[in-house]
Structure 1
């Protein structure tokens, strides 16, 4: 098995992966009551204030791009500079460069709200006590920041040693020699050899390290690892993606009996076996949900007004929604109704774009306000094209709308406002229809400049 996997790419064995194949009732209320609109607005304002501060802090203190800072602000919210400043000061005292610190915070932004003296300093001192030079310490921690989340002692020591061995082997091109030098059957030896197999398959280093420090390690053992890896490869997962690692984790720790039981649950709800595996390909971790959770979400969506076959369709399109709590779905309904959508329209949007269930209230409000209030598209246009709520404002919505507004100001559109589907077409189709078709080269250059400049806001 090992020789097949290690040399499979050269033999062409693994070059072709195989791929598997709402009107809401009057008076309906979910078990958890909705919070009042005023309380929701206050919470939204407070949350936005914290996010704005977080974004500003990350830009000013670490020089991160605005888009990246906004992404991080959705994972951690800073209330002031005191704690994050102490974390940055501690890291700099250990000679981490600004680039390394930025990499650490991008990977694990929660470190900014960790107590620098009580939690972080003892771990850095412990790692340093193992004889690592300052440069070795900063390289390993910045490569795998998650190591700072591990307990002191044997646990953090074990991960540190594994990562150090791999980094050194990579540098000296002695990776295979390292795996051969460890005792056959030893825990450390199995880990290194299994990581070596995954490395040969093309699994990125950042994902390999996440496997090494994961609490549920699919790189332990030998026979079970081989069996799990073979299954994931045969399912057609791409080794260069995070879904490959997710699938490996699920298959490794889930018995065939448990998987069969989960499939039977879905079959009773109206799914075909092929549907279940197609959902697994979209979102491997969906297989972790218990029977109780699966049925609970199914019934919650039915209470929202979806028919059974419509819930099945929603699950198939967006299996991530299975993990949504009853309260989260209730909050989602409240958000849309607060923006002027009816409950029937909410159900219709869920059927067409199930991902809207997982959008934050801030995102839904921001994008709906822009489309409806600033661009003047009717609210029922959003109901017909709810996928616009999933598009990037910076990369797609704003650049296209600015081009549309420029054309409207010059009286160059036959209708005052094109249909909202203008946001759904490909970039090439949009440019061909609204920019390149003009004979006036100066106008075309102006429109292209608007489109490109706005599209690049994300990098500023």
Structure 2
């Protein structure tokens, strides 16, 4: 195992040299992204007499987005005995800031439906009785809110100790072997040992903690887990990325024989072995698709006018297209080619457009382009009217799109008209 860990660490150091940063300050950044959300007057009853729990309260007090606040309120409303105010009061009584509470509720909304007195309170008290300081308690729960889903007692204690050790290790840039007394052969023992091995490979907190609190996976025996890690490392996956986790799940879930059969199935469908592995590295979940699913995907694309060779190119560039529904692929391709008059080859060269939202991205932007075309306002001065490249129109950010195609016009009425078309985003 030492050589494997050494290999993994060297791989991580090389990636760091290329400006790859392993960081876990996402929680605060994520919560801050909601700070500009606006309030709403929607009110939701929390199931208790006379108490109003409002969406505007979540937006104004915790900085949640309106959409997330409404989603949380619906979940709270579905729990007849939920009292979210008592949950928020409990967190504040233990020293959690509004920013921390915002991060916690964003990551684990169902906490608002928990019983503060009977469920959450005893867990906080238990952890304090084991020596957890106020700062440690708030930091760890804010980083891994789902730790509160663990049962009070040894279960939550062990997970808490592991999270604490990982956080402290990252602060000191050192990592000591985890020494928790766990029942030999138990699921907890397997999971914590295996996650500790991933930590030694350089996997960041964000990924480790999501695995730690997940319901299943990574609970196999030591030898099988080490063999799976070895295969994934040798394939060239970066231990600091989510793709490493995806690949590890796939490799663990299938035997060598099954994986070989799936590669052979890709060969029968027109892929060379190298292409199959190239796609797997881009999208590890490829192996989860059946031969029938891949075959149906080929038929869908060929039915739209693509050749088999073009399909192979599309899959290599955007493997996730295999997982898209036939209806989605048809709807987007026909709109782009028949309504917008972009050549089919444009989809081949930029297949990621098939993964974009029809309602939020494709239709609003294309309606603006069509309106500009109808008014003769596209193209350089003195040149023939020309439809801009598909990838150029659809891949840029909303802000850049609006600057390039809407806000640049001097005619205020035209700008207002284009903004209305863009905002409404209706298929015409």
State the TM-score, normalized to the length of structure 1: 0.63
Deviations 1:127-177 (A, max 9, x none): 3474446946544442223456x5x75xx8776334301133246659534
Distance 2:284 2:348 in 1: 22
Distance 2:97 2:403 in 1: 36
Q: Offset at 1:307?
A: 1.4
2:70 is matched with which residue: 67, 78, 81?
A: 78
Q: Which residue of 2 aligns with 1:224?
A: 224
Distance 1:372 1:123 in 2: 57
Q: Which residue of 1 aligns with 2:88?
A: 91
Q: Which residue of 2 aligns with 1:20?
A: none
Higher relative CO (Cα under 8 Å, sequence separation at least 6) belongs to 1
Aligned residues: 351
Q: Secondary structure at the match of 2:295?
A: helix
Gaps of 5+ in 1: 18-50, 410-460
Q: Secondary structure at the match of 2:70?
A: coil
Deviations 1:202-233 (A, max 9, x none): 21111001112234422542111101111111
Contact 1:103 1:142 in 2 (8 A): yes
* Alpha-carbon distance change, 405 to 210 in structure 1, aligned in 2, over 3 angstroms: same
Gaps of 5+ in 2: 16-37, 43-54, 78-82, 380-384, 412-428
Q: Which residue of 2 aligns with 1:364?
A: 362
Q: Alpha carbon RMSD of aligned pairs, Å?
A: 4.1
Distance 1:119 1:289 in 2: 41
Distance 1:278 1:292 in 2: 20
Q: Which residue of 1 aligns with 2:349?
A: 352
* Alpha-carbon distance change, 171 to 393 in structure 1, aligned in 2, over 3 angstroms: closer
Q: Offset at 1:14?
A: 6.6
Distance 1:365 1:56 in 2: 31
1:364-443 equivalences under 5 Å are 364-373=362-371, 376-377=377-378, 381-382=387-388, 384-394=389-399, 396-398=400-402, 405=408
* Alpha-carbon distance change, 227 to 287 in structure 1, aligned in 2, over 3 angstroms: same
Distance 1:191 1:81 in 2: 34
Deviations 1:259-307 (A, max 9, x none): 1121112111111111111111111122211222221222112212211
Distance 2:224 2:209 in 1: 20
Bigger fraction of residues in helix: 1
Q: Offset at 1:320?
A: 0.7
Contact 1:127 1:137 in 2 (8 A): no
Distance 1:289 1:119 in 2: 41
Q: Which residue of 1 aligns with 2:236?
A: 236
Contact 2:187 2:219 in 1 (8 A): no
Q: Offset at 1:122?
A: 6.4
Distance 2:305 2:378 in 1: 26
State the TM-score, normalized to the length of structure 2: 0.67
Q: Which residue of 2 aligns with 1:204?
A: 204
Distance 1:103 1:284 in 2: 30
